[in-house]
Amino acid sequence: MSQSTLPSKSSLSRITNGFNSLPTGVQGFVNATIGMGILLFFWWVGGLLIANNPDTEAFAGFAPGSAFVALWALITNGELWGTIYSSLYRILNGLFWGIVIGVPVGILVGYFIRVRQIANMPLQFLRMISPLAWMPISVLAFESWDNAIIFLLVMATLWPILFGTAHGVQRIDPNWFKVARNLGADGYQMLRRIILPAIGQDVFAGIRLAIGVAWVVLVPAEYLGVTSGLGYAINDARDTLDYGKLAAVVVVIGAIGYMLDFIAVKLLKRYSWHAG
């Protein structure tokens, strides 16, 4: 009975949660360490192969040893923090605007059939354009490089958030609206007390996907004009043949990406009402 009256776990959340149902506690920690150990091993072997091949030995800096030395230098001389700050500033801005535009539009698209019918084609069309394809337009349209990059990031974050929200609204049990109206809810109360809590987890699942895409788009976007950020640091290290530093920045990108995803998963769980 309770199964039939309350919707079951959505397919979306099942997909996005799949990787989070890892064992917890000591066992989980041990397994994670083993996993990272394997990754490090392959990296180390790769480094050896590169160093021992006369054609590629100039790139020996990619190996873990020199990468961690370079990483330590980046941390101690403080260069890293400014770099991370610039990138995070852009990412958070991109996310902020993605949410500010994506959630309300997503609600309208999900709630009103007419809006959905009108907006579906153009939105699907825009969604299929690679965020990076907007680069020339973005550079023309925005005076500052920072804003141009943020625009590219918004074009990356907007779609998962918008479609995640719309999907969530469409999935709301029609009885929930009926019951709320019956209890005297006005439009604002319907939004605040019913729709927003109902779609919380869909929105955060969208945000999680958005963070993933934005983080991927960020690095090539920072090859553009700017002189700060992780993408710039990579480009700069390449130009100065400092491959240890390049590998160190790659490590940092992976680590921060992982942390952002971790935070998104925490939020997703916090706003998810599905039992279990």
Partner 1 sequence: MSYKASNVWIANLSHTFKKQVKPTLSDINLSIPKGQLTALIGRSGCGKSTLLQMIAGLMIPSDGAIRIGGHTVTKPSAKWNMMFQNPSLYPWMTVRESAALGLVFAGTYKDKKDKVEDLLDMVGLSELKDENVQKLSGGQQQRVALARSLATEPEVLLLDEPFSALDAFTRTTLQNEVAQICHDQGITMVMVTHDIDEAVAMADNVIIMSQNPGEIVGDLKVNFSYPRDRNSEEFIILKEKLFGEFEKIDQAKQKELLEMA
Give just the sign of the alpha carbon dihedral 107, 102, 273, 3.
positive
2 binding partner 1? (CB under 8 A): yes
Residue 275 binds partner 1 (CB under 8 A): yes
Closer Cβ to partner 1, 13 or 87, answer by number: 13
Out of 116, 171, 269, 274, point to the residue binding partner 1 (CB under 8 A): 274
Q: Is 194 near partner 1 (CB under 8 A)?
A: yes
The piece of 5-13, 56-64, 116-124, 219-227 that touches partner 1 (CB under 8 A) is 5-13
At a CB cut-off of 8 Å and minimum separation 6, what does 55 contact? none
Task: Tell me how far apart the alpha carbons of residues 238 and 220 are, in angstroms, rounded to a whole number.
Answer: 14
Q: Is 158 in contact with 211 (CB distance < 8 Å)?
A: no
191 binds partner 1 (CB under 8 A): no
Select from 100-108, 133-141, 143-151, 187-195 the region that touches partner 1 (CB under 8 A): 187-195
Distance of closest approach, residue 183 Cβ to partner 1, in angstroms:
4
Q: Is 176 in the site for partner 1 (CB under 8 A)?
A: yes
Give the contacts of 204 (CB within 8 A, at least 6 positions apart): 264, 267, 268, 271, 272
Cβ 197 vs Cβ 173: under 8 Å: no
Task: Compare residues 73 and 196 and give the one whose CB is closer to partner 1.
Answer: 196
Return the H-helix or E-strand segment holding 226. none
Phi and psi at 222, nearest 5°, equal -80, 0
Which spans of this chain sit near partner 1 (rule: CB under 8 A)? Answer: 1-2, 4-7, 173, 175-176, 178-186, 189, 193-194, 197-198, 200, 273-275
